[in-house]
Amino acid sequence: MKLQKEAMNWLDSRLGIRELLHSNLTGYLLPRNVNVWYTLGSVLLALFGLQFLTGILLLIYYVPDTEKAFASVTAIMNQVPYGWLIRYLHVVGSNLIMVFILLHMFSVLFMGSYKRPRELTWLSGFGLFNMGLIFCLTGYLLPWSQLSFWATTVATDAAGAIPVVGDTLLEYLRGGASVGDATLGRFFALHVMGLPMAFLGLVGFHLFCVRRAGISSAPFGEDYRPTELSNSFHHQKHPGGVPFHPNYTIKDLAMIFFALALLVAITFYAPWLFIPLDALTPADPFSTPAHIKPEWYFLWAYQSLKIFPSALLGLAAQGAAMGFLAMLPFLDRGPERRPGKRPIFVTLYLLGILLTVGLSIWGHYS
């Protein structure tokens, strides 16, 4: 104990650790009305950490070669001690991350927390959501299963629908005329090195934005009033609020425990929820599996592409929808955040969710 105190004194005299910890933990006050939705960021950080850890462990045995990839994954699942656990935690974890990212985005939208001065927080978060999707798609190819091969073939095929740059894009993505060794090499490098580095940078920027702008209070209750906006930088403080640590971090910890319980329950009892049958067969470029479907988070896009008469139109509509969502803070500029006082937004919000869920269900059963 004495040694610990001396080490702390040594660090404090050089780096001002105590002041840093106080200003960011015990002295950092949050609004009194923060609710359970505010914990989703911490849950996501914990799950990202687990993905990094399990991903590094999988890298020890995975072989990024079209001749050996499926066999190496089979060996991880059946011969490596606890390999099945590490892989399933990674697979189920990636799906749960998408669930929690969506919930996080829905709560931010509903509470209007994306509004000025938090436009950059929203944009970086939206970037992280897209990066999560790319993470999933690149990870999808690595086991070199039937699902991996054909999902990637069709996803990259759509490149040909884009005028002028279609062929270049196709070549750039696949590294050849068809999905093969070069594609696996590219996706592997992107999945284990390129994306994680960019992702860490963007997470850092997102957290920086959250800390600099200050936590927004939940727009509920009689005491809530819209914030007066100024043109100069202003960190939103919450005098009389609750300390971030330990009062709030313990709530974060509780939700992390519950999220991990869900992850472990699916991993041990129903891992097949996120692993279609075609993912259990090695890739065969000469045999197209029947009824191949994308993962649940791509189903809305899959179905919307089928609705439009051409792939280009479908892609353009999806691009417009995603662009609108990314630019929302710059379009919806009023200071009002209370859902009850934003009936048009809430109606569009609910219709948007219903449309996405409806398209996904349609895509699943089509």
Partner 1 sequence: MKRVQSVCLALLFTPLLFWVAPVMAEDTVCIQCHSGQEGLLGKPVELWRGSVHAANGISCHDCHGGDPTDFAMAMSPERGFIGAPDYVAVPEFCGRCHLGVKEDYQGSAHGRALAAGGPQCVLCHGNHEVQLASIELINEESCSRCHEYERAAVVKQTINGTEVTLHRLERSVAALHRVGIDMRRIKEDLFAKRNSFRRLFHTVELEKIKNQTAEFNQSLLKIKQQIDDHESELGQRKIVGGVIVLLLLLGGCIALLIRKSYHEEE
Least distance CB 251 / partner 1 (angstroms) = 5
* Helix and strand counts by DSSP (H, E) for the chain: 15, 2
Helix (H) or strand (E) holding 30, with range, is: strand 29-30
CA 236 to mean position of chain CA atoms: 26
**CA–CA distance, 24 with 311 (Å, rounded to integer):** 49
Q: For the chain, how many residues are written? A: 366
Pick the closer one to partner 1 by CB: 17 or 133.
133
Least distance CB 210 / partner 1 (angstroms) = 21
Q: CA end-to-end span of the chain, whole Å?
A: 64
Pick the closer one to partner 1 by CB: 168 or 347.
168
- Alpha-carbon separation of residue 179 from 150, 236, 306 (angstroms): 9, 50, 23
Q: Footprint of partner 1 on this chain (CB under 8 A)?
A: 32, 74, 77-78, 84, 87-88, 130, 133-134, 137, 150-151, 153-156, 158-159, 162, 164-165, 168-169, 172-173, 242, 246-247, 250-251, 253-255, 257-258, 260-261, 264-265, 267-269, 271-272, 275, 277, 280, 287-288, 290-294, 298-299, 301-302, 305-306, 311, 315, 318-319, 322, 363
**CA–CA distance, 18 with 359 (Å, rounded to integer):** 52
**CA–CA distance, 306 with 314 (Å, rounded to integer):** 8
**CA–CA distance, 294 with 282 (Å, rounded to integer):** 17
Contact 51, 61 (CB under 8 A): no
Pick the closer one to partner 1 by CB: 17 or 30.
30
Pick the closer one to partner 1 by CB: 57 or 275.
275
**CA–CA distance, 97 with 93 (Å, rounded to integer):** 6
Amino acid, single-letter form, for residue 12? D
Helix (H) or strand (E) holding 243, with range, is: strand 242-243
Least distance CB 259 / partner 1 (angstroms) = 9
Pick the closer one to partner 1 by CB: 121 or 156.
156
Helix axis angle, 299-307 to 311-326, nearest 10°: 130
Least distance CB 31 / partner 1 (angstroms) = 12
Pick the closer one to partner 1 by CB: 208 or 272.
272
Is the bond into 309 cis (omega within 30 degrees of 0)? no
Pick the closer one to partner 1 by CB: 48 or 150.
150
Least distance CB 225 / partner 1 (angstroms) = 22
Pick the closer one to partner 1 by CB: 21 or 75.
75
Least distance CB 275 / partner 1 (angstroms) = 7
Q: For strand 29-30 and strand 242-243, is the pairing parallel, antiparallel, or unpaired?
A: antiparallel
Least distance CB 72 / partner 1 (angstroms) = 12
Residue from 148, 166, 112 nearest 345 by CA: 112
Pick the closer one to partner 1 by CB: 130 or 347.
130
**CA–CA distance, 358 with 362 (Å, rounded to integer):** 6
Least distance CB 106 / partner 1 (angstroms) = 18
Least distance CB 136 / partner 1 (angstroms) = 8
